Amino acid sequence: MMKRFLVILMLVWTTGLAHAQTPDSLDRNRSKYATYSFSKDDQYTVAAPYETVTVRQPKGKKVKNVIFMIGDGMGFEQVSVGWVANGGKLNMDQMPYLGASRTWCADKLITDSCAGGTSLSSGVKTKYGYIGLDADGEPVESNLTYAMRKGMKTGVTVTCRINDATPADFCVHGPSRKDEEGLAAQYVGCGVDFISGGGTHFWNRRSDGRNLIEEMKALGYTFVDRLEDVENAPGDKFLGLFEEYDMSPSLDRGPVLLETTKKAIDMLDNPKGFFLMIEGSQIDDYAHRNKVGQMVEELFDFDKTLGYVLEWAARDGQTLVVVTADHATGGLTLLKGDLEERTVKVHFSTKGHNGIVVPVFAFGPGAQNFAGVHENAEIGQIVRKLLK
């Protein structure tokens, strides 16, 4: 009897010890999200709103730099919900020109990020699933690659894996986003100066045994995998990979998008200009999951980054800033809420994408060209025209 008691006691003790040693990062109840109420996926209240910036449209007409920002899955619906949740203010409000973009692709009314992102990056309508290819499957030149060919510096910073659809649309080519190792491998030697996101699994745990991180280091890239090392990273080539797959939710990962954006602008700014694509990738993820609180926090992370971009662009005077989306997600409806209480209650009609037009905000020289209703490919075409 005593022996059996001791065995049971030992099992209880070891089970408790194992639980006590569970890393905080794996225990969602201990994350920063525990201070927020996410108990109801269709409701959210913001306890502490953030301050937005105040900027004026520059008077100059020369476009030296382009900062192209994509809120993945961010339709007018997501922007409206975020505006209420932050007490009636967003940094997007500071952008003087507003347009709308139709997002359909060459073979489907409801697009995906591959085809939607290709239209924005290159000015070409393409088929569902195609990355940097036209509807015939031929590679097309993105505006980022065009800028590189002109001698401008280039960069991408995102909160998803760097080989996911939208960043890949600007940097590489492929018929399917499922070829994740193949897309990642194309970044080696692609020439993009600043690369930041997640997805180390596809760089150094590959089935072919290659270590793409080491290959990039050999090409002169400084590799960073911790937020605290971003600011002082040396050199003029940057590779930041912060998670094995997509990055953690915004309140857990910290201001990675903001800090990498600051670093990118500092590193890329030069007399010949630069092209930088910034994506708030996980607005889409949490709209897919029908979780309004997490979706709002991802939109806030994106909008806070925009605030820094707008202040920098206003001082520079020669930087065009465009904010748009590849598509909207979730069939979101704002049912009720309160501006003073910063509360929202919503309804999601789908866990997929929808075909409603998405916003196009613009600031800086050439911004007036984005007013009105456009096809998504026209957005890419306008950017190309202004780069010439």
Residues marked active site are found at 113
Alpha-carbon distance of 72 to 10, in angstroms, equals: 50
* Residues 274, 252 contacting (CB under 8 angstroms): no
What counts of helices (H) and strands (E) characterise the chain? 13, 15
Cα–Cα nearest to 172, from 154, 259, 288: 154
Return d(Cα 123, Cα 79) in angstroms, integer.
Answer: 24
The helix/strand/coil state of 207 is coil
Of 173, 180, 174, nearest to 144 (Cα)?
173
- 177: nearest Cα among 330, 281, 104, 69: 281
Of the candidates 168, 54, 155, which has an alpha carbon nearest to the alpha carbon of residue 120?
Answer: 168
Residue pair 79/357 in contact by the 8 Å Cβ criterion: no
Which element (helix H / strand E) includes 78?
Answer: helix 76-85
Expressed in angstroms, the distance from the first to the final Cα of the chain is: 86
3-state secondary structure of 287: helix
Beta-carbon contacts of residue 10 (< 8 Å; ≥ 6 apart):
none
Q: Do 285 and 246 touch, CB atoms closer than 8 A?
A: yes
Burial profile 341-361: b = 16 or more Cβ within 10 angstroms, e = fewer: ebebbbebeeeebbbebbbbb
For the CA atoms of 298, 304, 306, 307, what is the dihedral angle to 10 degrees?
A: 160
